[in-house]
Amino acid sequence: FPRKIAKYVKDKGIISLPFAIRSMTGLAAEIIGLRDRGYLREGYKADLVIFDLARLRDRATVLKPRRYPEGIEYVMVNGVFTVDQGKRTGMLPGKVLLKPATD
C-alpha cells in the first residue's frame, strides 16, 4: 500500500490521497462484505496507520520483499501498536478476516 500512495499520489499525481486511502479501506471492506470495518465510525473496528506523506517510500524489491517502507510512523492493530515512532514493536495482534458466509 505504501507503493500505491507514494507512486500514484505523491510522485505521479494520478489519484488523490482520499481516493487511494478509500480504495484500500472502505471500498475493500465493502467488496469483501466486512460490514463493521473500513471506515472510522463509532461502533466499527479499525486498524490505524499514521504516515508522513513527504517521507513515504516503499523499499521492498523483488530480491528483498520484506524491507519495510519509510514514512510509516504508527500502526495500531486491534488497539495495539505494531509500529511506534517508526519502529516495529514486535507485537502481532492481527487476525485473519474471512468473508462472511452468504445465504
Task: Answer whether residue 99 is part of any domain.
Answer: no
Structural domains of the chain, count:
1
The range of the structural domain enclosing residue 10 comes to 2-88
CA 24 to chain centre: 7
Task: Answer whether residue 8 is part of any domain.
Answer: yes
pTM of the shown model:
0.84
Task: Answer whether residue 101 is part of any domain.
Answer: no
Task: Answer whether residue 45 is part of any domain.
Answer: yes
pLDDT of residue 70: 96
Task: Answer whether residue 94 is part of any domain.
Answer: no
Task: Answer whether residue 25 is part of any domain.
Answer: yes
Per residue in 35-76, pLDDT (tens digit) is 899 999 999 998 999 999 999 999 999 999 999 999 999 999
Per residue in 72-96, pLDDT (tens digit) is 999 999 989 999 999 999 999 998 8
Task: Answer whether residue 100 is part of any domain.
Answer: no
Task: Answer whether residue 75 is part of any domain.
Answer: yes
* Gyration radius from the chain CA atoms: 15
What is the total residue count of the chain? 103
